[in-house]
Structure 1
Amino acid sequence: MSQNADPKQDFLDAELISQASQALNAETWVIQVFVVLLATGIINIIQARILRRLHDVANRTKTPWDEALIYSVQRPLTLILWVLGISFSCRIIGEETGTTLFQAVPAIRDVLIIALIAMTLTRLIKRAEYNLIQSKQAQGKSFDKTTLEAVTKLLRLTVFITSGLVALQTLGFSVSGVLAFGGIGGMAVGFAAKDMLANFFGGLTIYLDRPFTEGDWIRSPDRNIEGVVERIGWRQTVIRTFDKRPLYVPNASFSSIAVENPSRMHNRRIYETLGIRYDDADKMREITEEVRYMLRSHPEIDTNQTLIVNFNQFASSSLDFFIYCFTKTTDWVTYHQIKEDVLLKVMDIILQKGAECAFPTSTIYLSQNNPEDPAFDPSALAGGSGAVSHSLSERQAPTPGSSVDSGSR
């Protein structure tokens, strides 16, 4: 028995098959995207554990570079894996849906990878700098921190410029055209920002010439600048004054002023002038010889430097001698303690020799009431007070038994 086929039933069967096929295809690419993202997450977990263990091992070594390398790739590597996983998933979705939006994914992926590689290099440079500083400080070794910071800043700047040019070339821009435009634009920017460029090159000069480094005490006789250098930047230098105020000095200023760096002195100088009375003139030689011997035997005085103790002046109220020597220390507080000890010992020597330190005095000569004396005052006798006239002129010769000399003290 033959049966006639139902056209309506055939159409429904074909429609069901088509919908089932589309649903199956949709489920296939969704599963593919899910598998890619799941695999990306699993790979990230595995690499994070491996790098964590390697980081622990690197921390126990004395080399600062292996720890810096592992530290620098930890975060960027995770991001790079996710960028690759997401971009691959977007490509699957774009091929299945035909959406033109996903055509820009490869270029975006390449730019992100370039940026993450640049991030890795900058983290490596910064971490290596930190580890090197910590290593030198732990070993107690001296190093030029300013030069190290200058080199690392230049390296980071080089990485930034290079990665930017590579990213532009990846996006389809001509690097030669960009450089040509940058040359013309650089001239215009240079004229507009000449002060900023002057500060930049001033900072570069500081890094190269190294007249001072961070932590140095500097001062300028040309400007009201004195304090401790806290930070040397590309545009300005931060100085902490002795009243604890921050002073921001543009780097270009250091190209036109003289800078004194007392932190690099080898010794500190003691230069004092002392005076004894004129009555103690016969003791001057003994005092200077004793003070000279005391300084040469003092444990904190550098005898390899200039040491002078000499009588050098007939002052108005004293006989002056000066002390000129250098301490071994350059520490400010210790220097003043040594200077105090030296001056106290000098004072003891003066007293031991029977002399006294001088201070400004004046001498007064008194004259008797002689009618023939030009300084005679009849009104004083008329008053019956028995008062005597006096002259303050030191040029008048005193009569025997009538002069009062306070001496030089």
Structure 2
Amino acid sequence: MLVNIYNKKLTTTEVAIVALFPLVAFHFYQYIGIPRILERMCFHAMYLLVFLFTLKELFRKTTSIYHRVVKYIFACFIISSITAFCFWEQSFVSSYIAYINTFSEYMYFFILYRIKPTPSFVIWIVVAYAVIWMMAYCIAFISLPNIIFGDPESDWDMSRGFYRIKILGGGFVFLAYYMSVNNACEKKGKKWSVLALALFCIIVLMLTRQYIAITVVITTLYLMTKSFKAIVKLAILAAAIVLLVTPQIISHTDNPLKTMYELTMKQVTGNDIEEDVRMKGGEYFLTEFPNNIVTTIFGNGYAHPDSSYGKWELTHCFMNAYIRADIGYIGLYITYGILGFMVFLAMFYHCFKAKLPGEMSYIKLFMLHIASANILSWPIRGDAIEISICLYLFHYYWFIKRKKYYGRNSHSEF
């Protein structure tokens, strides 16, 4: 039986909302068999219903820092839309369309906040969506070069020596991976170790070097805090992988592993054009991008490609490969200003300082992953549902701790 924090049984409607919202928010992984108009109709209908369902949560007074942080994020969306209108002549409708995906995904926090599922149910959601994503990836992989999942209008990147399959919802793979590593250490279950290994293989197949490196570093640091045996096992596994992979890199002239290796060597030696573009893009947005005192504080908003703002950015930024999503925190500052930058820093600060049970360490690991990856990419925008899940779980344990000190009166804070 599914129960919430008040030990009340969740209704079928509540279970359906929590379980199905991510699927609709990911546009059904952009499956080619679903007409785009039907996909968008389902998304906007779900968005409207959920907005009405959670509207009062936006105005609820609470002492929970995690609830307040999400409200401040929404405030940043609204304020930056106003600055985009005032200084870039972008209509509120265009800003709404530009923000709607991220806006709706952060709204998932308020869905969880209102329904209040237990962590065990949330874990079930995370694992289910990670498995679904892996299945979608495998189907897309087998079907190449035909596109089954993902945006059929986008050019799939071949810069890593193979197709980089881009499917919405990949953040669940990382969240489930850290959960599996955490549970493998805390619960000593072999099933979690097997799942962690399978998820890591998928992470490698994503062919995103920084994400692979960040995952390896965070996993190693976490295991170092758990036991010496875990480090020995990890070292043996790493050695085995190196012995298997190195001949492939050396002997084959064209494969993803060799391509990623060569790109990494170029980056280390300073000959990587892509990294040079990132550096120039960051410098451009900090020194040449039009700004004033108001937009410095409140941001410029996010440009819709069809608006005058979007067309200006296309001409001055995209034509030179200067993309906000590639410069992480600088892009965050340009979009939401110093105010938004401080809100997201506050989010990370309160997540990292929270005290959690050992079996819940994975949400800290995932937030550390997001904070690290956001240096050269923008998971804060792309993985908002996964971040919302973590913020809800942080809030859940904040409430449990508060309940111990303040008793039954603390219910009003949830």
Q: TM-score range by the shorter chain?
A: under 0.3
Q: Between Structure 1 and Structure 2, whose CA radius of gyration is higher? A: 1
Superposition TM-score, scaled by structure 1 size: 0.22
> Where is the strand percentage greater, Structure 1 or Structure 2?
1
Q: Normalised by the size of structure 2, how large is the TM-score? A: 0.22
Q: 1 or 2, which has the higher helix percentage?
A: 2
